[in-house]
């Protein structure tokens, strides 16, 4: 007996439409969000990939982050 495949979610359909409109380029999840898809996530793309509607590839992106860290110095003995 064939396994029943669930219908795609509305969000997955929206993402598919964006990818179809930008078929000449590859898009990351962040870029898909920047193109107007609200709160896309990897599960939507995985559902599309599992159905053979999209392909994925690993790419490297440079990410700049800012973190708060502690900086230390010697105490001034005169201030004690």
Contact 20, 50 (CB under 8 A): no
Q: pTM to 2 decimals?
A: 0.72
Specify the pLDDT at position 72.
74
- The two tokens of residue 35 are 């193109």
pLDDT by residue (tens digit) across 28-39? 999 999 999 999
| Alpha carbon 41 to its chain's center | 6
pLDDT in tens, 5-57: 789 999 999 999 999 999 888 999 999 999 999 999 999 999 999 999 999 99
Gap between the Cα atoms of 74 and 72, Å rounded: 7
């Amino acid at each position: 007996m064939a396994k029943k495949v669930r219908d795609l979610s509305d969000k997955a359909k929206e993402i598919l439409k964006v990818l179809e409109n930008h078929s000449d380029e590859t898009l990351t999840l962040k870029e898909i969000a920047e193109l107007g898809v609200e709160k896309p996530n990897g599960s939507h793309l995985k559902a599309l990939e599992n159905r053979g509607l999209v392909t994925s590839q690993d790419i490297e992106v440079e990410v700049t982050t800012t973190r708060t860290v502690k900086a230390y110095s010697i105490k001034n003995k005169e201030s004690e």
